[in-house]
Structure 1
């Protein structure tokens, strides 16, 4: 496959140079062709006129009918490489007379006029001239005398001149190449300069500089394109500004509402705890209502806590409090605190040590395992592994797995794959918070399905280089 020039500049250069050189070559070649044709025609005319002039000078002195001596005199006057015939008489001189063709002789005898023929023989071009000798009849008419003269001329010299013209044409085309390249460079520079400016402006827009603009210059298509790009950037900047303002308002609203709800929820939680202690002595209907109120209050408290955590992530105020942690023990402590230790299998080396925020790890693992227990199926397994660069925690279950359309949205806020889960204790923020905590550590959290069946969530945390860390002991430097 032939390589093609890449980039607009290279293509413009190649196209411009090709057009210029081909145009120069075509013009030079056409001129050389016209000159060569004229050269051959001039040589042919000169030779035929010279031959007919010499024949006309001798013809009045010849007897008629001619004898052999008359034919010899006519041949000598006509020049070398000449053949003169009259019926059965012939007078020839030179080896070139052997090139006279039967086609030429037939044309002379039938047409009774001068005939020329160009042939190639012995590796070179030749011009054959055949002409009848005309005499004047008693009535004044010009009639054939029966004498025919055939002359052979070597055109090698003419061919050399034509070759020189072709070489000159090629040289002219070659001389056109440097100016063509120079002109192409100048033309491409003038064309590509505004294109490069547009590219730089587009790159600034892509990098987030929504105020990037390029003033239009001229009145051509590039100026119209520049105006279009400026209009697009203006519209984008307006839309993004409005969107950012709405996002900031929404985040501020969520944070403010969450903060304002903390005090009444604390009071409500205390009342609910008192209600829970007295629920056993209530009638069945009242006890059921009390238990529902207790469940919904706990759910509301969890939702407010999650909203406050999300607002900290959005505001960029969430920080890590790193400490040296033994991963396997931290995971088992998370399960033990929630009564899941006998329901989850943990496969891990004896010890995996790294620096992380233990509280945030607890949040991640509690969300992953809690989802597996509530929405998956047994067995639920945690597999821990480590390399020099990172640690890996894989949580799998034996349930039906995640539908294909759910996987891209599983970490979205308030997303629940099943409509019947809208009344479950979860807030719909757990996996989103788990992902934010993983990224805060400089790691990642991915979702998918295990080989065979069941959902699989994989947490990867780096052993060094955590993002958002405030040190080993917290923001204020005190031991936590």
Structure 2
């Protein structure tokens, strides 16, 4: 039971059919309950009104007959007790036959000091007479009625304890001219049985209607959602690479046309994906072939450039400068070629990790030392701040070193010499991170999503002092993805930029957060 309760919210969130069926049943229950309450109220009101009218009429009729009998009696032939008996006993016998009780109270006077005599039908509880009706006849001769609760206990019949109507009339005995009150008590036993029967019928009908509503709603939603669920499964298989999957088309209704449109979309996607795959394959093959084919002539050119560079002391100044530029550009071209080969390996899915336990803080210090000559050339100070030492993680040492070298050299290229570059390292139980912060020109709105594109540059007119190829950040992003990590960028114009590398401490672990913020704390301090 507890397992079902725990699964309930998940089923409610995931199943549209369950939500629709339960919502329809709930709405149906509200409508059926309101209708049943209204019908029961109307039936109850009608039965009670009919009972009151019939009771008042019968009481008036019986009272007239009593008055007629009393008027026919000579006052000298019968004394008061005999006339009271002639008044009450026929009414009591008639009440037992017709199912109502009779109470005779009298004589009644407004200022009587003693309680009047009371006679009642056999088994009738005197407390069934409403006190308000009794008080009314103390000062008035007008007939009246009131609702009450009738209790009759008769050993010869079943007991009665139901709501009822009490009707009272005043008569005068010829013998003493006293005021006597006849109170008729009409139980509403049949009416209550009728109301109970109607309520039970409405309750049973309502329950059956709710079951019918639930079944009909389930059937309709099943007919509608079954093709949708099939489309979901086919879409999942398409997303998994099974591009030949299609929906079956049955009939000519809206769902059939939806299936046709889905199949047409899948066919178009399959054709376009295959075209893109072929184009990508050709591009990767071209990049790989060109990179490999360029290695031989590049080796020859490098040997020649090294000979010229070594002999530049024997040349005139212009030729010597040309030899130096040739050597520099050959180095840059060789780096570009190496990056192209690395990119081609990523595109071909051939890149793999060589994992080992690495201290990320020590690795960051080593990369900063490697880039110190470039920083000194630019007049930029690079500072390393390690929050907790050591920060160890399972990494590919070569690839993470390449990521950090790209980030730091890029920051040195764009840094403000007065403020320098800040490298922060931190870790927690699940992840480790490095941020590289510079205070240079920064990034415009939207450029943080473009910096990792191949050959993208924020300022095409700006020269690269570090000899970059335009592929460093793209390769760094691919290296990060191999580790299952994040490589993110933040920047604002004239407030500098910050790059954050986050990797899991354990290889293959799911990354959920970073121990360092992407937006630096001093982002709002600079104008």
- Regarding TM over 0.5, the answer is yes
CA contact (8 A) 2:489 2:498 kept: yes
**Among candidates 395, 399, 402, match of residue 436 of structure 2:** 395
Once the two structures are TM-superposed, the CA of residue 21 in structure 1 deviates from its matched residue by 4.4
Once the two structures are TM-superposed, the CA of residue 380 in structure 1 deviates from its matched residue by 1.9
Question: Between Structure 1 and Structure 2, how many residues are aligned?
Answer: 423
Q: Which residue matches 1:247?
A: 276
CA contact (8 A) 1:258 1:305 kept: no
Once the two structures are TM-superposed, the CA of residue 434 in structure 1 deviates from its matched residue by 0.5
CA contact (8 A) 1:100 1:150 kept: no
Q: How does 1:165-180 map to 2 (within 5 A)?
A: 165-176=194-205, 178-180=207-209
Q: Which residue matches 1:360?
A: 399
Q: Secondary structure at the match of 2:29?
A: helix
Offset from partner CA, 1:384-442 (integer Å, 9 cap, x none): 44556544333222324444532233333443333535988544432221121022123
CA contact (8 A) 1:372 1:380 kept: yes
CA contact (8 A) 1:28 1:172 kept: no
Q: Secondary structure at the match of 2:187?
A: helix
Q: How does 1:316-355 map to 2 (within 5 A)?
A: 316-323=349-356, 327=360, 330-331=363-364, 334-335=367-368, 339-340=373-374, 344-347=382-385, 355=394
Counterpart check, 1:442 vs 2:472: no
Separation in structure 2 between the aligned mates of residue 130 and residue 310 of structure 1, nearest angstrom: 114
- Change in CA separation of 1:30 and 1:267 when aligned onto 2, cut-off 3 Å: same
Separation in structure 2 between the aligned mates of residue 421 and residue 457 of structure 1, nearest angstrom: 20
Offset from partner CA, 1:16-68 (integer Å, 9 cap, x none): 33334444444444334333333333333333344445656777x699xx99x
**Among candidates 52, 55, 58, match of residue 43 of structure 1:** 55
Q: Secondary structure at the match of 1:461?
A: strand
Q: How does 1:225-244 map to 2 (within 5 A)?
A: 226-227=255-256, 229-231=258-260, 233-244=262-273
- Change in CA separation of 1:388 and 1:74 when aligned onto 2, cut-off 3 Å: closer
**Among candidates 301, 308, 317, match of residue 341 of structure 2:** 308
Once the two structures are TM-superposed, the CA of residue 316 in structure 1 deviates from its matched residue by 1.4
- Change in CA separation of 1:341 and 1:94 when aligned onto 2, cut-off 3 Å: same
- Change in CA separation of 1:364 and 1:260 when aligned onto 2, cut-off 3 Å: same
Separation in structure 1 between the aligned mates of residue 147 and residue 290 of structure 2, nearest angstrom: 110
User: TM-score, normalized by length of structure 1?
Assistant: 0.66
- Change in CA separation of 1:418 and 1:237 when aligned onto 2, cut-off 3 Å: farther
Q: Which residue matches 1:458?
A: 500
Q: Secondary structure at the match of 1:209?
A: helix
Once the two structures are TM-superposed, the CA of residue 83 in structure 1 deviates from its matched residue by 10
Gaps of 5+ in 1: 85-91, 106-115, 132-148, 468-480
Q: Secondary structure at the match of 2:26?
A: helix
Separation in structure 2 between the aligned mates of residue 366 and residue 171 of structure 1, nearest angstrom: 83
CA contact (8 A) 2:40 2:198 kept: yes
Q: Secondary structure at the match of 1:447?
A: strand
Q: Secondary structure at the match of 1:393?
A: strand
- Change in CA separation of 1:31 and 1:98 when aligned onto 2, cut-off 3 Å: closer
Q: Which residue matches 1:99?
A: 136
CA contact (8 A) 2:246 2:266 kept: no
Q: Secondary structure at the match of 1:412?
A: coil
Separation in structure 2 between the aligned mates of residue 270 and residue 241 of structure 1, nearest angstrom: 45
- Change in CA separation of 1:351 and 1:42 when aligned onto 2, cut-off 3 Å: closer
Deviates more, 1:183-192 or 1:293-302: 293-302
CA contact (8 A) 1:354 1:463 kept: yes
Q: Which residue matches 1:370?
A: 409
User: TM-score, normalized by length of structure 2?
Assistant: 0.61
